[in-house]
Amino acid sequence: MADDIDARENLEDINEQPKAGEPKYDADNLQILKGLEAVRMRPAMYIGDTGSRGLHHLFTEVVDNSIDEHLAGYCTRIDVILCADNSVKVVDNGRGIPTDMHSEVGVSGVEVAMTMLHAGGKFGGGGYKVSGGLHGVGVSAVNALSEWCEVRVCRNETCYFQRYERGVPCEPLKEIGKAEATGTTTTYLADSEIFGEIVYHPEVFVSRLRELAYLNKGLSIAFTNEQAPEGEEKTRVFHYENGIAEFVEALNRNKNPLHKVVFFSGDRDETAAEVALQYNESYQENILTFANNIHTQEGGTHLSGFKTAITRVINNYARKNNLLKEKDPNLSGDDVREGLAAVISVKLLRPQFEGQTKTKLGNGEVDGVVNSIVGEGLSEFLEENPTAARRIIDKALTSHRAREAARRAADMVKRQSAMENASLPGKLADCIERDPAKCELFIVEGQSAGGNAKAGRNRRNQAILPLRGKILNVEKARMDKALENEEIKSLVAAIGTGITHSSMDNADDEDGQLDLEVTETAPVNGNENGNGKKNGNGATFDLSRLRYDRIIIMTDADVDGSHICTLLLTFFFRYMKPLVEDGHIYIAQPPFYRIKSGKDKIYYAKNDEERDAILRTISNKKDTMVTRFKGLGEMDAEDLADTTMDVDSRTIAQVHVEDLIEADDLFTVLLGDQVEPRKAFIEAHAKEVTNVDWHA
């Protein structure tokens, strides 16, 4: 035994000694981060990233504290101001952050909330019954990531003030005067050391604040943009007395509703649920889910309860009223949700979210609560409104027939895809590289442009798919018609993922953020494979089968080319939305002009301004020739390669979804059935149009 002890001691001595050339590793090597240092060192752990999304996430963390005051019954108004100096101010008329000294840490409640992670009134201390700020790092993380932050609290008829710089208090909380009302004002300037250039997008503020106003009926939320151009409206106020019922009305404003908005609400076991729904004549479902005001983009138990209830109730009603015969199969969930717009909002005491991002609700009890409330409410509505009920059932039956045809067409595409290259479209010029992360697909307008692209490409990793004419407008067609279109079948086969036609927010496939924003020469992501996602047609979208990491739309720089590009974006948004959400869709940026000076100097210009700037720099104007490209077919292969395809010299624009709700509405307005909304949109934005090709 003694020998064994000696051996262990010798081994421990050896382990404690650093090897030759290696630094000593002991307790002193363990770094202890104090206060908010951890947030500044690893900001992405707390706010997602340090890009535009993370920057805009800061204001939502501050606003969420004010929303919690509203949920507790104390706040009726919130003001959010984007200041001229790029600081952001959030003002509420709640109770105000507690200002008395905390007995354990010896500083004011304000300082505790602003400087300590996992501190606040949301951890069972009785401050809040319902709250979205589950992890307690919100406002303190904002403080840590700000160059400076100032808090003004009105409470107990006194105004208090404290300033912080990069999370560190400049002085203790102090009294600065008397107060007639209560509330908290938080002003911060995001730190350029963390975020780089600070550029705000007002539409992101508007989208989230409008959403919060819908979800909290009776609450007034104002957004003021002090940076707005002269003549533009600076302040917008959002206030909805009917809450999510008005939210659904807004979702369906351009989609020909089949009946009035239906609203149900109820409480069960410390969980409150509100549901509003309305069917329309479109072919898309649009279901948005929220838990404690947080947009649960991946759905969760509240969504599954809703889906189960609505499928059961509509099938029961259809059979009871002999609209479904005994031999007929039940309508599927996809059938009964076609053309459905709905908002589901639950508020619960102890929400269980998946991760800090809170994109999916996991509370098992919520499934039954929503199922019960929707089941009772929808059954009552159908019985009391037989005309609306018949319209809903007829739409579901028509959807079922079309979906069966679409399933057969999708199965055919899938069988063809299983044969790999042997089943790929004959007009596809595929690349040699087999690693999707290194490959890109150019979707090219016309055969002549396709020929030039094939000649100018890098055959190793660039594939070319020429399309003939304009693809079908899928906004006006059901899926069975879309899959009969030869160009769409070629696209689906070439891309390899299958198709999806799901809602904007469901348990299997969703995301959520007016418009599709493009950013120049966006960074290229790797091929982040995902799991198969069940879609609304029985087909399966499988991101892991994506054959090209970048799918680049390359059309002529004229009106027809823009129209084709828009039709393709509509197809991707409606049938392959995960490709858009994950940043796989790009738009090529071909030049308008080629400028040749002398024998060997060639310049390219995207617009008239660039052309004129180049011409001013050329000394020998007599030996200069300017060529205007009317289309990709007029460019030779070398021009096309140098300007639009060569990764070292091209500019491409990556497509992002910044606001899913507004993007959905914009596609409906621009490509849907109703003419008046489209006319109004064109009239409202006519002066903003640039680069119209008058030669088209």
Q: What percent of the chain has a predicted confidence (pLDDT) above 90?
A: 48
Instruction: Say if residue 536's pLDDT is above 70.
Output: no
Residue 391's alpha-carbon distances to 196, 257, 278, 281, 386, in angstroms, are 54, 11, 12, 10, 9
Residue 574's alpha-carbon distances to 100, 204, 479, 504, 561, in angstroms, are 54, 22, 10, 9, 20
Q: Which of 341, 339, 338 is nearest to 244 (CA)?
A: 341
- Rounded to an integer, the average pLDDT of 229-258 is 94
Q: Which of 497, 515, 513 is nearest to 551 (CA)?
A: 497
Asked whether 202 and 186 are in contact (CB, 8 A), the reply is no
Band of pLDDT at residue 132, cut at 50, 70 and 90 = low
Domain 244-400 adopts which CATH fold? Ribosomal Protein S5; domain 2 (3.30.230)
Band of pLDDT at residue 222, cut at 50, 70 and 90 = very high
Chain centroid, CA 591 distance in Å: 30
Q: pTM for the full model? A: 0.74
CA distance 525 to 531: 17
**The tokens of 593 are what?**
């002009």
CA distance 477 to 485: 11
Map residue 223 onto helix, strand or coil: strand
Q: Which residues of 536-550 are buried (b: 16+ CB within 10 A; e: fewer)?
A: bbbbbbbbebbbbbb
Average pLDDT value over all residues in the chain:
83
Band of pLDDT at residue 651, cut at 50, 70 and 90 = confident
- At residue 25, the pLDDT reads 43
CA distance 139 to 129: 19
Q: Which of 43-47, 194-198, 387-391 has the lowest mean pLDDT?
A: 43-47
Count CA atoms closer than 13 A to 169's CA, side-chain side.
17
Domain 424-590+652-688 adopts which CATH fold? Rossmann fold (3.40.50)
Domain boundaries 38-238, corresponding CATH code: 3.30.565.10
- Rounded to an integer, the average pLDDT of 212-238 is 95
The 10s digit of each residue's pLDDT in 398-430 is: 988 887 776 766 565 555 544 444 467 778 999
Residue 133's alpha-carbon distances to 60, 63, 122, 240, 358, in angstroms, are 10, 11, 7, 23, 10
**The tokens of 546 are what?**
């994506």
Residue 266's alpha-carbon distances to 277, 362, 375, 591, in angstroms, are 15, 20, 12, 58
Neighbours of 523 (CB within 10 A): 7
Which tops the pLDDT comparison, 118 or 71?
71
Asked whether 533 and 404 are in contact (CB, 8 A), the reply is no
CA distance 247 to 486: 38
- At residue 415, the pLDDT reads 53
- At residue 445, the pLDDT reads 85
Which tops the pLDDT comparison, 145 or 136?
145
CA distance 209 to 204: 9
- At residue 531, the pLDDT reads 37
CA distance 142 to 58: 6
In 521-659, DSSP assigns E strands to: 532-534, 540-542, 550-554, 585-588, 593-597, 601-605, 624-628, 652-659
Which 8-state DSSP code applies to residue 20?
T
- At residue 616, the pLDDT reads 87
CA distance 17 to 540: 58
- Rounded to an integer, the average pLDDT of 52-72 is 91
What value, to the nearest 5°, has the Cα angle with vertex 221 and ends 218 and 224? 160
Band of pLDDT at residue 150, cut at 50, 70 and 90 = very high
Map residue 190 onto helix, strand or coil: strand
- At residue 294, the pLDDT reads 87
Map residue 480 onto helix, strand or coil: helix
Neighbours of 154 (CB within 10 A): 22
> Quick one: 189 exposed, middle or buried, by C-beta within 10 A (0-12, 13-18, 19+)?
middle
- At residue 77, the pLDDT reads 97
CA distance 537 to 480: 10
The 10s digit of each residue's pLDDT in 427-472 is: 899 999 999 999 999 999 888 888 889 999 999 999 999 998 789 9
- Rounded to an integer, the average pLDDT of 191-196 is 94
Q: Which of 149, 140, 146 is nearest to 195 (CA)?
A: 146
Q: Which residues contact 46 (CB under 8 A, 6 or more apart)?
A: 39, 137, 141, 356
Which tops the pLDDT comparison, 80 or 131?
80
R_g over Cα of the chain? 29
Q: How many helices (H) and strands (E) does the chain have?
A: 22, 25
Instruction: Say if residue 328's pLDDT is above 50.
Output: yes
Domain ranges of the chain: 38-238, 244-400, 424-590+652-688
Catalytic residues: 445, 556, 558, 560
Q: Which amino acid is at 338?
A: E
CA distance 584 to 568: 14
- At residue 11, the pLDDT reads 42
Instruction: Say if residue 634's pLDDT is above 60.
Output: yes
The 10s digit of each residue's pLDDT in 25-56 is: 444 433 344 567 878 888 878 887 888 889 99
- Rounded to an integer, the average pLDDT of 15-29 is 50
Instruction: Say if residue 199's pLDDT is above 90.
Output: yes
Instruction: Say if residue 481's pLDDT is above 60.
Output: yes
